[in-house]
A and B are shown apart, each in its own frame.
Chain A
Amino acid sequence: MMAMRHRVIIVLAIAGIALLVLIQGFIIPGNQAREEQYQLEQQNPLTHDLGSILKYKNKYMGNASNLMNLFQHLPLQSIPKTFELDSDKLRLKVLFSEPASSVKEIELKRALLYNSLAAYALVDNLEVIEFHFTDGTYTSTRTATQEVFGVPLSDLLTEEKWKTIQEQLKDDSYVSKQAQIVIQK
């Protein structure tokens, strides 16, 4: 019995070490890499995951924490920022603490376009967003955004339609053209 248990112990010890190596050496690093990859994709309008922001759908822009959480899960999330809400004018101010020039111009346009679209589509009574950078302000309105993407914006919140828009946003000239309409400097 003791000898038998001795053999079982040796087998278990070897199996345990193998499992530990597998988990620590492969599974956890793999998960981390995937997680990092996902986080990276969330920074980019073209690969951003609609599923990660659907839970911030809300009728009212007055729900401040909801809006703040939404912007923490959109592109430009890595730039430190604060928020100001003007409920009378249904206006959101996003105050970035970095200059707009820290991002490539076309990427900035793509991100502002995408973030505006997402915010108007998800928050029903939001009308105006002002993106304040240390070196300038960009403003978008629901009306202008609707003009570009069609009405109503909340209808676009399906995986399929969203993908089509992300496809279109790949085209730099398309982005420049639409940004002209939507974003006022």
Chain B
Amino acid sequence: MGESNISSDNIRGHLDAIILRVLCEGDNYGYEIMKAIAKNSGGQYELKEPSLYTSLKRLEKQKQIVSYWGDETQGGRRKYYKVTSLGKEAYEAALESWKVAKAIIDQLIERQDKS
């Protein structure tokens, strides 16, 4: 549990981008988004419901995603989210900045074995 908490802290700042990535692969609803994230992490990270709804709400307000109610014939109807072009741009930007940050942080944190 402790291990997963530490990774949660590191991941929290990137939740929006993580969700945008899932939605870039196709429209989806809340529970499936959580499942997809768990699967993408190889079972190492599990998104909690409160964080999911907070992120979705924020993304919707920023017009990076839009929502619509599905037309399921069986069972309850589900609320789907669709990424907008603004969302796609935001995702690309987040990806770029992450790559840069990752490279820098690697350099800063990883021990360099002097040869």
Touch A–B, Cβ below 8 Å: no
